[in-house]
Structure 1
Amino acid sequence: MDLAQYAWIVWLVVALICFIIEMVTLEFTFLMIGMASIGGLVSSITGLPVWAQVLIAAAAALLLLLLVRPKLLQRLHESGELNLQGVDALLGMAGEVTRTFVRGAGEVTLSNGDVWTARLSPAVQPRDPDVGERIVVTAIEGATAIIVPAQR
């Protein structure tokens, strides 16, 4: 049995692992290495010797990392789209009161479907918002959303 005839399996596994890692890191490095592995896979299927497959994959990885990745990163940063995550994504988010407020504290459901305990912001007139009233998140303190009534 000649192990070189099964090299395509190794290339496929390397590519899949790189693509999975890329989904976690999102920095295009493993995407480029995974694409280079596809080059190794294609060269394996065409019957080239293992040394040639490795050479092709290495050259492809080098070219992709040095030429394509910087352009992709530049394009990504040029888009100007800021992708907020975590608590930052909640600031300014709308929602509605889902449980009666008592002494300035209650429960809200945000527009993304998250349910939060909430407190009325000290910046607004003290009152208890009604169930169904629209609100906006102004801050997060621990596991509590600080809210203000939405402008009508």
Structure 2
Amino acid sequence: MAWLWWLGGALVLGVVEMLTVDLIFLMFAGGALAAMLLAVLGAPVWAQILVFSVVSIVLLFGVRPWAKRALDRSTPDSLTNVAAHVGREATVLIDVTDRAGRVKLLGEVWTARAAGHGTVLPAGTTVRVVRIDGAIAVVEPVPTTPYG
């Protein structure tokens, strides 16, 4: 019956790992599975705890660094929240100066400010977001390239 407790512990640790994705709880789940195997074979509780500890430590210090590097290499960096807006193009709705204005950015209306001092960007101008200051998009005009 002790093997059920080890299996339950491994499952709980696996769920916690899915929430954190740091590969720490996964190593402890591996130790719990090793202890579960010993419990199924009828080993005493002290042996199960010893195997749980040893396997967890070996996985934590032996396997985790390698697995973490492999995970970091294969996971692309994705910008989220306001950082994802930097570099995007927007359309000026209300003239943008270095003090105020409005732009439409990804279907949302944002308060905007021109990046250049004394610059006025008229309505309808296509601009690029340089940075986000709080809830204000700091923009600059998109350079036009002649075609032909």
Give the structure-1-normalised TM-score.
Answer: 0.66
- How far the C-alpha of 1:127 sits from its partner, in A, is 1.6
Q: Letter of the 1:128 partner, please give it.
A: P
Percentage identity across paired residues of the two chains:
27
Question: For residues 9 and 148 of structure 1, what CA distance do their matches in structure 2 show?
Answer: 62
Higher gyration radius (CA)? 2
1:17 positional shift: 2.8
Aligned to 1:144: 136
Determine if contact 1:108/1:117 at 8 Å carries over to the other structure: yes
What is the total number of aligned residue pairs between the two structures? 139
1:112-133: CA deviation from partner (whole Å, max 9, x where unpaired) = x8x4614143238422343xx7
Structure 2 residue ranges without an equivalent (≥5): none
| Aligned equivalents of 1:135, 1:13: Cα separation in 2 | 55
- Write the mapping of 1:79-94 to structure 2, written as runs, cut at 5 A: 82-92=77-87, 94=88
Q: How far apart, CA to CA, are the structure 2 residues paired with 1:65 and 1:30?
A: 9
Distance 1:138 1:20, change over 3 A: farther
1:101 to 89, 93, 99: 93
Instruction: Judge conservation of contact 1:118–1:147 (CA < 8 Å) in 2.
Output: no
Aligned with residue 116 of structure 2, among 118, 123, 126: 123
Partner in structure 1 of residue 60 of structure 2: 65
User: What's the C-alpha RMSD, in Å, of the aligned pairs?
Assistant: 3.3
Deviation at 1:140, TM superposition (A): 1.0
What is the one-letter code of the residue matched to 1:121? Answer: A
Asked if the contact 1:116/1:144 (under 8 Å) is kept, the reply is no
Q: Distance in 2 between matches of 1:19 and 1:116?
A: 42
